[in-house]
């Protein structure tokens, strides 16, 4: 057998002082670059799922809601992830809606992930400097800014922490006999299940054990015990998948589709995405909350070709050197396996986001650490200086990147500036500008969003009618009634029974002196929602302006009879338009 160059089967553990020093350094590296997040507000989908989610408190009042379909109503999640919801509920109980409490939890989870990775790699058998350098690089890597800074992405932190904790516990079970080994295995299975119920990406955990067994432990005397311990993980995975796609699946969600409408196009597109992920891990810039997506219908474009190269090249090298460098081969195989759940073989609405690389990047950091520690021609001090320089550089980029997550306006301003082709980023920034009263600026951004290609992939693009609707509202408030008329017409082509759009369009038509069309729109809205407050009030205003006083009084009487009560109105002198659809795209 060729001797290993990246693994020490005797597992020489560091002395107590060095071990404590490494733990202290890892704690500092995991926390210091992200300290600015403690001053950040809620952003992105934190607002809907946490800040304005009053039902989050109900989990402690009704703990049974974690285990039935009330979970989706109370958590605002569209996947069954009760572990992260429990973390949010505890943070709400401790600090109310103070975002700092949630960000402290995020830093704690990131620190826990770094330490779990460090422990797992140490037990895996890596030569002593490798676990530290891999964990240190993971701690400061700028691609993790979204996962740490966005409270709604903390599911990635919790999932990854439990993933590597489960791995470390499994390796402890491998080194123990009798009840001790079975106890460690039981704890490993528990951590794995909790990881699954944090986020689905941890479904690759059995592959972690299998690849480790084939590359690292296959000639170990305890091979039989490893093989027998593997099957409980397979059984748990199968049971989870059955539950996940049956009783735990939320109904009524719009189905996602492959980008371009076919699996082949998805393969070409995701090859390009994989090339961009690899580029981000090597050169982490720009870092944005939303990325525009280029759809490829041919494999002969630049990014799909690069994606093929960065996939086939490392895998071939990993296979070629599986005997002499088993740990590096393990890292290469697990990088591709761990990222496979988000490679869109099963259609996903979001096909590219920095947070999706949080777990897989640990294996990239492992390979980088092995490369750093393997340079035998350079003295150890020089290698340490080189590693420290990389970590310092990445740490500075991380500090700078966290500033973009200060608040909603800063986040989307940065994203649109870095990637003006992102449709959702332009839409979300336009919403925030509209809230600040700059309706002309919002209208320009809504038009910019319309010119962008979608970066969400559902059966129908439900974002388009929302953009048209909000453009109509912004145009109306900026005095562009013709533009508002056009925008509402486009919105109603896709959503003809949108009562709010019908009412607002009618108001625009009134301003344009087109009463017949306005009455038609209001009557259609009334036929759809006869007890809608804005419909009744605007019908009353319209009839009053047309001199139909008896009909106006009738609509106002109905307005007063609505339960729950409609808001009080000053009279019949002005119309009441419905607000824009300001909910951010998740």
Number of domains in the chain: 2
pLDDT of res. 343: 93
Verify that 357 and 429 share a domain, yes or no. no
* Mean pLDDT, the chain, integer: 90
Q: Is residue 501 included in any domain, yes or no?
A: yes
pLDDT of res. 221: 59
Of 403, 428, 460, the one marking the end of a domain is 403
Q: Is residue 566 included in any domain, yes or no?
A: no
pLDDT of res. 349: 83
In whole angstroms, give the CA distance from residue 173 to residue 209.
Answer: 12
pLDDT of res. 257: 85
548, 472, 557, 550: which is closest to 511 by C-alpha?
A: 472
Q: Which domain holds residue 312?
A: 16-403
Average pLDDT over residues 165-183: 90
Average pLDDT over residues 261-277: 93
Check residues 92 and 374 and name the one with the higher pLDDT. 92
Token duo for residue 298: 């041919």
In whole angstroms, give the CA distance from residue 132 to residue 143.
Answer: 19
**What would the pLDDT profile of 4-20 be if each residue is shown by its tens digit?**
445 444 445 667 889 99
Verify that 385 and 442 share a domain, yes or no. no
Average pLDDT over residues 530-540: 91
Q: Is residue 2 included in any domain, yes or no?
A: no
Verify that 161 and 123 share a domain, yes or no. yes
Q: Is residue 575 included in any domain, yes or no?
A: no
Residue 55: half-sphere exposure toward Cβ, Cα within 13 Å:
13
- The CATH number of whichever domain residue 443 belongs to comes to 1.25.40.10
Residue 7, classed as helix, strand or coil, is: strand
Q: Is 261 left (phi over 0), alpha (psi -120 to 50) or beta?
A: left
Verify that 362 and 445 share a domain, yes or no. no
Q: How far is CA 95 from CA 87, 275, 408, in A?
A: 12, 41, 21
The answer to whether the bond into 521 is cis (omega within 30° of 0) is no
Q: Is residue 524 included in any domain, yes or no?
A: yes
Tally of residues, the chain: 586
Q: How far is CA 151 from CA 87, 145, 185, 430, in A?
A: 11, 11, 32, 22
pLDDT of res. 566: 80
Confidence label for 219 from pLDDT (cuts 50, 70 and 90): low
Neighbours of 441 (CB within 10 A): 16
pLDDT of res. 571: 57
Verify that 346 and 447 share a domain, yes or no. no
Gyration radius (Cα) of the chain, Å: 28
Q: Is residue 1 included in any domain, yes or no?
A: no
What is the longest distance spanned by two Cα atoms in the chain? 97
Verify that 499 and 534 share a domain, yes or no. yes
Residue 173, classed as helix, strand or coil, is: helix
* pTM, 2 dp: 0.92
Q: Using an 8 Å Cβ cutoff, are 359 and 202 in contact? A: yes
Verify that 350 and 201 share a domain, yes or no. yes
The answer to whether the bond into 175 is cis (omega within 30° of 0) is no
Verify that 379 and 441 share a domain, yes or no. no
**What would the pLDDT profile of 399-447 be if each residue is shown by its tens digit?**
999 999 999 999 999 999 999 999 999 999 999 999 999 999 999 999 9
Verify that 220 and 366 share a domain, yes or no. yes
Q: Using an 8 Å Cβ cutoff, are 466 and 433 in contact? A: no
Neighbours of 352 (CB within 10 A): 24
Verify that 427 and 361 share a domain, yes or no. no
pLDDT of res. 1: 35
pLDDT at 157 over 90: yes
Dihedrals phi, psi of 7, to nearest 5 degrees? -140, 135
pLDDT at 2 over 70: no
pLDDT of res. 9: 44
Verify that 368 and 427 share a domain, yes or no. no
**What would the pLDDT profile of 104-147 be if each residue is shown by its tens digit?**
999 999 999 999 999 999 999 888 889 999 999 999 999 999 99
pLDDT at 459 over 90: no
In whole angstroms, give the CA distance from residue 435 to residue 445.
Answer: 13
Q: Is residue 579 included in any domain, yes or no?
A: no
pLDDT of res. 8: 45
Buried b (16+ CB within 10 A) or exposed e, 180-198: ebeebbebbbebbbbbbbb
Token duo for residue 118: 């460090």
Q: Is residue 5 included in any domain, yes or no?
A: no
Token duo for residue 151: 């409270």
In whole angstroms, give the CA distance from residue 549 to residue 540.
Answer: 8
Verify that 340 and 429 share a domain, yes or no. no
Residue 176 burial (10 A CB sphere; 0-12, 13-18, 19+) = middle
């Amino acid at each position: 057998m060729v001797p290993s160059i990246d693994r020490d089967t005797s597992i020489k553990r560091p002395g107590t002082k060095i071990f404590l020093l490494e733990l202290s350094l890892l704690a500092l590296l995991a926390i210091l670059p992200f300290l600015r997040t403690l001053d950040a507000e809620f952003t992105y989908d934190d607002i809907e799922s946490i800040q304005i989610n009053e039902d989050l408190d109900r989990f402690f009042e009704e703990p049974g809601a974690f285990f039935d379909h009330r979970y989706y109503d109370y958590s605002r999640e569209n996947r069954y992830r009760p572990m992260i919801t429990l973390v949010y509920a505890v943070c709400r109980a401790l600090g109310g809606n103070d975002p700092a409490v949630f960000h402290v939890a995020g830093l704690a989870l990131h620190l826990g992930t770094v330490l779990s990775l460090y422990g797992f790699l140490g037990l895996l058998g890596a030569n002593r400097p490798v676990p530290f350098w891999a964990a240190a690089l993971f701690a400061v890597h700028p691609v993790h800014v979204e996962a740490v800074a966005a409270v709604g992405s903390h599911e990635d932190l919790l999932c990854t922490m439990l993933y590597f904790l489960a791995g470390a516990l499994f390796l402890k079970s491998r080194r123990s006999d009798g009840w001790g080994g079975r106890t460690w295995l039981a704890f490993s299975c528990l951590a794995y299940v909790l990881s699954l119920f944090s986020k689905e990406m941890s479904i690759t955990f059995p592959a972690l054990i299998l690849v480790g067994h084939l590359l690292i432990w296959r000639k170990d005397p305890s091979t039989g015990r490893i093989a027998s311990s593997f099957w409980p993980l397979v059984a748990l995975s199968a049971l989870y998948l059955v539950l996940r796609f049956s009783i735990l699946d939320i109904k009524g969600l719009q189905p996602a589709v492959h980008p371009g409408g076919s699996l082949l196009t998805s393969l070409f597109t995701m090859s390009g995405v994989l090339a961009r992920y690899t580029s981000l891990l090597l050169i982490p810039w720009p870092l944005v909350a939303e990325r525009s997506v280029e759809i490829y219908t041919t494999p002969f474009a630049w990014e799909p070709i690069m994606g093929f190269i960065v996939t086939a090249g490392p895998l071939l090298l990993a296979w070629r050197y599986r005997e002499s460098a088993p740990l590096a081969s393990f890292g290469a195989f697990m990088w591709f396996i761990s990222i496979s759940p988000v490679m869109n073989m099963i259609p996903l609405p979001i096909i590219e986001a920095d947070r999706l690389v949080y777990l897989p990047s640990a294996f990239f950091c492992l390979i980088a650490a092995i490369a750093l520690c393997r340079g035998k021609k350079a003295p150890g001090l020089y290698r340490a200086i080189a590693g420290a320089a990389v970590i310092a550089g990445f740490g500075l980029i991380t500090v700078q990147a966290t500033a973009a997550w200060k608040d909603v306006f800063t986040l989307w301003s940065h994203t649109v500036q870095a990637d003006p082709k992102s449709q959702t980023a332009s839409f979300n920034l336009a919403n925030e500008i509209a809230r600040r009263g700059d309706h002309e600026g919002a209208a320009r951004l809504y038009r910019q969003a319309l010119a962008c290609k979608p970066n969400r992939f559902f059966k129908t693009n439900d974002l388009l009618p929302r953009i048209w609707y909000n453009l109509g509202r912004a145009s109306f408030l900026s005095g562009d009634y013709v533009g508002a008329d056009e925008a509402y017409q486009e919105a109603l082509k896709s959503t003809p029974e949108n009562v709010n759009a019908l009412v607002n369009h009618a108001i625009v038509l009134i301003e344009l002196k087109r009463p017949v069309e306005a009455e038609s729109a209001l009557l259609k809205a009334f036929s759809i929602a006869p007890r809608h407050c804005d419909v009744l009030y605007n019908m009353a205003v319209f009839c009053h302006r047309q001199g139909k006083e008896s009909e106006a009084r009738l609509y106002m009487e109905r307005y007063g009879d609505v339960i729950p009560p409609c808001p009080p109105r000053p009279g019949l002198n002005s119309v009441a338009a419905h607000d824009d659809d300001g909910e951010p795209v998740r």
